[in-house]
Amino acid sequence: MLHDEVVARIRDQLIEGRIAPGARIPERELCQTLDISRTPLREALKVLAAEGHVVLLPNRGARAAKLTLADVRDLFEVSAALESAGGELACQRITDAELAFIAARHAEMEAHYTARDMRAYYACNRAIHEAIMRASGNAVLIGIYESVSARIRRARYVAPMTEPHWRSALQEHAAMLNALERRDGPMLAMILKTHLRHKGSEVERAGFATL
Amino acid sequence: MLHDEVVARIRDQLIEGRIAPGARIPERELCQTLDISRTPLREALKVLAAEGHVVLLPNRGARAAKLTLADVRDLFEVSAALESAGGELACQRITDAELAFIAARHAEMEAHYTARDMRAYYACNRAIHEAIMRASGNAVLIGIYESVSARIRRARYVAPMTEPHWRSALQEHAAMLNALERRDGPMLAMILKTHLRHKGSEVERAGFATL
DNA sequence: ATAACCAATTTTGAATGCAATTTTGCTATT
DNA sequence: AATAGCAAAATTGCATTCAAAATTGGTTAT
- The pLDDT tens digits for B141-177 are 999 999 999 999 987 766 678 899 999 999 999 999 9
What is the per-residue pLDDT for B159?
Answer: 66
B46 touches strand C (CB under 7 A): no
Q: Which nucleotide is nearest to A41 (CA to C1')?
A: C14
What is the per-residue pLDDT for A204?
Answer: 82
If pLDDT is split at 50, 70 and 90, which confidence band does A207 have?
low
What is the per-residue pLDDT for A122?
Answer: 94
CB under 8 Å to B119, separation ≥6 — which residues?
none
> pLDDT digits over B22-65, tens only?
999 988 889 999 999 999 999 999 999 999 999 999 999 999 99
Phi, psi dihedral angles at B63 (to 5 degrees): -130, 145
> pLDDT digits over B175-199, tens only?
999 999 999 999 999 999 999 999 9
Q: For the purposes of burial, counting CB atoms within 10 Å of the CB of A37, is it exposed (0-12), middle (13-18) or buried (19 or more)?
A: exposed
> pLDDT digits over A55-97, tens only?
999 999 999 999 999 999 999 999 999 999 999 999 999 999 9
Q: B-chain residues within 8 Å CB-CB of A138?
A: 73-74, 77-78
> pLDDT digits over B54-100, tens only?
999 999 999 999 999 999 999 999 999 999 999 999 999 999 999 99
What is the per-residue pLDDT for B155?
Answer: 79
CB B204 within 8 A of CB B155: no
The reply to whether B59 touches chain A by the CB within 8 Å rule is no
CB A95 within 8 A of CB A136: no
| Rounded mean pLDDT, A191-210 | 82
Quote the ipTM score.
0.92
| Rounded mean pLDDT, B2-25 | 93
| Rounded mean pLDDT, B106-135 | 97
Q: What average pLDDT is seen over chain A?
A: 93
The reply to whether A39 touches chain B by the CB within 8 Å rule is yes
The reply to whether A80 touches chain B by the CB within 8 Å rule is yes
* Cβ–Cβ below 8 Å for A77 and B46: no
Compute and round to an integer the Cα radius of gyration of chain A: 19
Q: What average pLDDT is seen over chain B?
A: 93
Under 8 Å CB pairs connecting chains A and B tally to: 85
What is the per-residue pLDDT for A211?
Answer: 46
What is the per-residue pLDDT for B161?
Answer: 82
CB B76 within 8 A of CB B200: yes
Which bases in strand C are touched by protein, i.e. have an atom under 7 Å from a CB? 11-17, 21-23
Residue B130 has pLDDT above 50, yes or no: yes
The reply to whether A77 touches chain B by the CB within 8 Å rule is yes
* Cβ–Cβ below 8 Å for A84 and B81: yes
Q: Whole-angstrom Cα distance, residue B35 to residue A77?
A: 41
* Cβ–Cβ below 8 Å for A52 and B140: yes
Domains and CATH numbers, chain B: 3-64 (1.10.10.10), 69-210 (1.20.120.530)
CA distance B19 to chain A (A): 22
Residue B210 has pLDDT above 50, yes or no: no
